[in-house]
Structure 1
Amino acid sequence: MPVDAPLSKHDPLEAISADLERVRRHQNAGRYSKAEAMLTQLIGTHGEVARLVHMRGLNAAMQGDIDAGLAELKGAMGLDLNDVGIIVDYGTLLAKQNRIDEAIDIFQAGVDTNPQHALAYANLGAALVITKDYPRAISALRTALDLDDTLNDSRLNLAQAYIRTSAFQPAVDVLFRVLAQDPQSPAAHTNLALTLFRRERHDAAEHHARRAIELVPEAQEPWLHLGAILGAAGRMEEAAEALLRIAGKGAFGIAALVRLVSLRKTTADSPEIALLNDAGATLAAHPDAPLETVSAYHFAHGKASQDLGDYDAAAGHFARANAATAQLYPFDRKKALDQNTRVRDLVTPQLMAQHAQAGLRTNAPVFICGLPRSGTTLMEQMFSRHPDVQAGGEMLATHTAFQKNALLRAVLEKERPASDLTDDTIDQFAEDYVEFLHKEGLKSDVVTDKMPANYYYIGVLAMAFPRARFVLMRRHPLDCLLSNYTQNFGSNQTFSTTFHGLGLTYNLFDDLATHWERLLPDQVRVVNYEDIVADAPTQMRGLLAFVGLPWTDDVLDHTGATRGVNTASVAQVRQPIYSSSVKRWHHYGPHLKELAIAVQDHLTEDEQRACGID
């Protein structure tokens, strides 16, 4: 956050503005004693005028005495309540002392005092990014840029706010504006590497990661992104080489180590083992380490232990990892139950008959959905090999279309009755979905959308796209849920941090999947992951016929897909279809007893006994 010290229009010392400018130059050059001498002389002549006290406070702060600087600036604000420059600098010093909430109040006061002061908005937005109040941050930063288009720091902060809210395309747009003003901005290239990666533009993402490294070779973050980009493109050896450069070192060392462990199988001679042990010792010596770091480390060590066949150790690490994540992001049981009930109750045969003429018939999207880790990524990779299919990946198209349709959203949330829906409402929802596709360059008649959570909205999507097909993936509950439990989803899947949450989610999914299959037999096809593993040719022949596509052997060569993979399945889908992912839960046995109890109705007696249920 920049220090702002322009000559205030309220300052009566216009006659000595040249002297004030000279003080600034001394300060900028680090000649603090000379600046202090000049200020002492000026104050002796003109008295303690607000701007002079302000400059004296900055001089103290620049020499490291932040407390003295705060005291001086607070006094200066009392001398001139309308000088926003003083207000902004006071807030900046508070922020430097990590008193962010106080700083936000001060910056807000600056904005309220002068709504045309760009730096007040800029610093307010920067502070709000720190506190993760991203909607307010975005508003403040956009206002700052409207007032002063040269504030590249504000663009970088705005890009961060967009990234944290998964608004990757707006972040890309903002970052290219940064480069237009500063083509050698390492931060812009680094963040473009991340955002373009998340937009699955891997070639462009790689370019910006490498450019950031050229500009600042010792920077860690671009190496982290480069490793992720190369891994998603299937260039595993290059990815590992990039990640090993920083794994276990500095601010991004844990993140790089975690990504490296997830990228490949840990073996007895893998360098990851020593790195994990070192990281564990460091964390043990710092019991106040952030929970995010603790969680990430234990997920990685759990996966490495699993690779090495030490399932008892793996179970312990996964338990600690999920306990840390659960503290950060508790699972809301009531919200999950309410959501499941609402979507099931909304779309009835009567409602579908009432709106039988609604929706777009120009598009035939294929929604590949189900619980996470149920085989959706593998299925889409197989579909992506078909010449008539464009693969969209995990798109936010459904979410975006709902966000643009307040009436449909209100009906879904039971804030308005279903009778308020019109054919036009459904048409607009479909049009907004297609608009999202077109912005992504997806204009084929058949586009796959593998956002797993779309299974919630199958009823609405079926009305919006009467030609749509839904491939609803199922997987053995213990394999599926264990795979979720052993992945670090952060805030994205709070249900996965406890066996209770996992069990509830599976039971709700099973109920909803059965409902959609009965309600929409011509549009919904349930596919068992285990059946794909056992006999992919037979399963894919049936699925292509179901979707209305001709057979091609190419769909069986999913490893030849050129499209990158950004999900947790990246390493697995680069391998031929294998059976080792089936019945993996057997390795954990009694460690899964609580989970097995939660999904007992879906298990055989032998499976229950294997988990320690009498």
Structure 2
Amino acid sequence: MNNAFSAIALYRAGRLDDALRCCLSALRSASPPLAAFEIAAEIHLRRNQWDAAETLLNEAIRYAPDSLNSRFNLGVVHVQRKKLEAALAHFEHCLREAPDNVEYMNAVGNCLRLQGDCTQASRVLKGAHAKAPKHGGICENLGWVLLSSNPHEAHAHFEAAFSAGNRSARVAQGMTESLIATGAYQAAVNLAQSALKEFSKNPELHHCLGVALVKSRRSTTAIDAFRTALRFKPEHAEARVNLAVQLEQQGELGAAEQELREALIRQPMCPEALFHLAFLKSACFSEAEEQLLRCALREARNLNDKGRLGLALGRVLEQRKKHEESMQAVLSARKMLAPSSQYCPESDSRRTEELILSHTQQSTRNAQAQEAVSSIFVVGMPRSGTSLTEQILASHPQVEALGETGVARALLQKLTDLNGGQYPQNWAQISPQQRHDLRIYAQGLLTDRLPRQENKVLVETTPGNHALVGMLAELLPSARFVLCQRSPLDTAISLLQHPLSPEHDYSHRLEHLSHRFKQFARCQQLWLRQFPNSCTRVMYERLVTEPEQTIRALLATLELPYSETCLYPHKTQRTVRTPSAAQVRSPIYRSAVQRWKKYHGALSPLISSLEPLEDAHQADLRSTS
């Protein structure tokens, strides 16, 4: 017993080696005291020596089954070793014996969170928070639980944890991630950089900094942050995949492939590494990697992971020329993703009607704008040639291509701020003064995005801005709009095969995909009719089969002199932040024309539905030949 008392005193004094020796001496006695087991185990816990701690705690529980402290610490060991079910059993046992103990409530809630049961975790942690609102650990865990569903509230909890004295690297990471989730990218960069002054070797904070920099469109600096994270934690799969994505977007396809394969060496079943490797144009899957992908698909629990891996499998099979099997894999993946779709055909139709009503009330712009072209908006359905068109224009010496600038989103928000209005519902009702204010604001947004001291034409490429052409054309008389158009069936096939951001979730169901195309076609006709001098149409098929003739005509329409560099867009070095990042690094190719014919059997309902649009497109091609 004297050894046990000595161990307690030494442990409290921070003399852990001496305390451990006293504990081990006490444990050799005929009746070892429980305190010796527990103190020795806690010392091993502090040193991350999980095996030794688990052995001692199991002995302690056999010696004293009612010891809640031993059970709690054994649960902590199981969490560290990712034995979450065993950990939860111990934590829940402790909570049943002491239902008001907030430490036990916090442990149960955190374990439920790690198991993915955020609903139950939130219930338990909110109960704990009600009892101890300034408990730093509870506030932190509530932040993690709420991060995906309510990032603003999550950020408030992380800040409360920090104020309560929990100033750990994990709290700094949570604060940074919640800022990223709310769109406060620069604030996230600043916070991560500040936290790294104290936690300079923390890989998670370096990774968070990289993500925030990507969102802030600073790819080169982001690459440095991801590489720093990997220097401190080479097995960090997410950092390695994010590094690979940035390298791909900068055109370093070989380096991107190398990073993805390294991620798979360290974590063979990493879903994101398998996914991005499958869609990297320069990479070819081996038979072993295909089997690994199939295995990951079978074992994936998350429906989103299963859907993305299914699309990746479709891509691999497509590379092997197994077209029917490829499309079956794609359709199966889309079926898995369909329940997550928020697309509403009725709302889409209603919005198109509102666009037509708002802009047919305005007079057609017959006169050519007097101002020189200062900005070009490239719009269209995704996978219709928008990235290729942007890359061609970016190759012109008088052009600065910035990808997606967010100008249109900012204008929509400004419209709401001015009078609470929405586009297009209230567009016809805004006053001349408000229209003038919006025009000045729009011009300022574009000017701010141009590099200093450069008199270049800005090119903005956001395919979704197609629905906003009317607003942009009226506010920016010196802007031009390149309306990209491709065979509806070829575009539809490509949309099915390539995963895009959530706003394109109409691709999950064939009937929704068909409906979206029909609304797009109606808008296309509206803009060409109402703004003939501001809008020009580029046919993808003409662009890839007759590139010089088509590019000359396009540049002339945009009031740009012809430049032969536009014929070789793959040689232009720039960051491309779209799923076509790898494709635009290749010379202009025509192999993607009429791809839909390979899938006629599997997609007959979609083909039948889109046949009138396809016929109209082919007629347009013939008329412009």
For the superposition of Structure 1 and Structure 2, which TM-score range results when normalised by the shorter chain?
A: 0.7 to 0.9
Residue 277 of structure 1 aligns with which residue?
291
Residue 289 of structure 1 aligns with which residue?
301
Q: SS of the counterpart of 1:590?
A: coil
The answer (yes or no) to whether the contact 2:376–2:460 under 8 Å persists in 1 is: yes
**Range moving further from structure 2, 222-231 or 119-128:** 119-128
Distance 2:435 2:126 in 1: 39
| Aligned counterparts, 1:340-379, within 5 A | 340-350=352-362, 364-379=374-389
Shift of 1:147: 7.1
Residue 541 of structure 1 aligns with which residue?
552
Shift of 1:390: 1.6
In the alignment, residue 293 of structure 2 is paired with which amino acid? A
Shift of 1:183: 1.9
Q: SS of the counterpart of 2:411?
A: helix
Classify 1:59/1:177 alpha carbon distance in 2 versus 1 (closer, same or farther; 3 Å): farther
Residue 221 of structure 2 aligns with which residue?
204
Alignment size in residue pairs: 554
| Aligned counterparts, 1:325-336, within 5 A | 325-336=337-348
From 489, 500, 514, the equivalent of 2:525 is 514
In the alignment, residue 538 of structure 1 is paired with which amino acid? Q
Classify 1:352/1:100 alpha carbon distance in 2 versus 1 (closer, same or farther; 3 Å): same
**Percent of pairs identical after alignment?**
23
Q: SS of the counterpart of 2:562?
A: coil
Shift of 1:57: 5.7
Residue 35 of structure 2 aligns with which residue?
34
Shift of 1:447: 1.6
Distance 1:61 1:24 in 2: 22
Shift of 1:59: 5.6
Classify 1:163/1:581 alpha carbon distance in 2 versus 1 (closer, same or farther; 3 Å): farther
Residue 41 of structure 1 aligns with which residue?
none
Shift of 1:417: 7.5
Distance 2:411 2:155 in 1: 21
Residue 123 of structure 1 aligns with which residue?
141
From 461, 470, 473, the equivalent of 2:472 is 461
In the alignment, residue 381 of structure 1 is paired with which amino acid? Q
| Aligned counterparts, 1:368-407, within 5 A | 368-407=378-417
Residue 91 of structure 2 aligns with which residue?
66
Residue 30 of structure 2 aligns with which residue?
none
The answer (yes or no) to whether the contact 1:381–1:558 under 8 Å persists in 2 is: yes
Residue 122 of structure 2 aligns with which residue?
104
Residue 264 of structure 1 aligns with which residue?
281
**Range moving further from structure 2, 203-212 or 187-196:** 187-196
Classify 1:190/1:75 alpha carbon distance in 2 versus 1 (closer, same or farther; 3 Å): closer
Shift of 1:601: 1.2
Shift of 1:381: 0.9
Whether 1:75 and 2:100 are equivalent positions in the alignment is yes
Distance 1:178 1:58 in 2: 33
TM-score normalized by the length of structure 2: 0.78
| Aligned counterparts, 1:169-180, within 5 A | 169-180=186-197
Distance 1:590 1:570 in 2: 30
Cα deviation per residue 1:164-205 (whole Å; 9 max; x = unaligned)? 566544433332233233222201222333443454433212
The answer (yes or no) to whether the contact 1:306–1:314 under 8 Å persists in 2 is: yes
| Aligned counterparts, 1:101-500, within 5 A | 101-105=119-123, 107-108=125-126, 120-129=138-147, 132-142=149-159, 150-164=167-181, 168-247=185-264, 250=267, 253-264=270-281, 270-284=284-298, 286=299, 289-350=301-362, 364-407=374-417, 410-412=420-422, 418-424=428-434, 427-428=437-438, 431=441, 434-435=444-445, 438=448, 446-489=457-500, 491-500=502-511
Cα deviation per residue 1:492-529 (whole Å; 9 max; x = unaligned)? 31111222111111110010011011111111111111
Distance 2:435 2:135 in 1: 42
Shift of 1:385: 1.8
The answer (yes or no) to whether the contact 1:213–1:223 under 8 Å persists in 2 is: yes
Distance 2:602 2:618 in 1: 13
Classify 1:385/1:175 alpha carbon distance in 2 versus 1 (closer, same or farther; 3 Å): same
Q: SS of the counterpart of 2:286?
A: helix
Q: SS of the counterpart of 2:495?
A: helix
Q: Which residues of structure 2 form unaligned runs of 5+?
A: 1-7, 24-32, 40-66, 76-89, 620-625
Classify 1:125/1:409 alpha carbon distance in 2 versus 1 (closer, same or farther; 3 Å): farther
Shift of 1:338: 2.6
Classify 1:23/1:331 alpha carbon distance in 2 versus 1 (closer, same or farther; 3 Å): farther
The answer (yes or no) to whether the contact 2:269–2:292 under 8 Å persists in 1 is: no
TM-score normalized by the length of structure 1: 0.79
Cα deviation per residue 1:272-312 (whole Å; 9 max; x = unaligned)? 3321223313543x4x7221222122211211211221111
Cα deviation per residue 1:216-249 (whole Å; 9 max; x = unaligned)? 1222222212221222222222221111112376
Q: Which residues of structure 1 form unaligned runs of 5+?
A: 1-17, 39-55, 78-84, 609-614
Distance 2:91 2:13 in 1: 19
**Range moving further from structure 2, 547-556 or 496-505:** 547-556
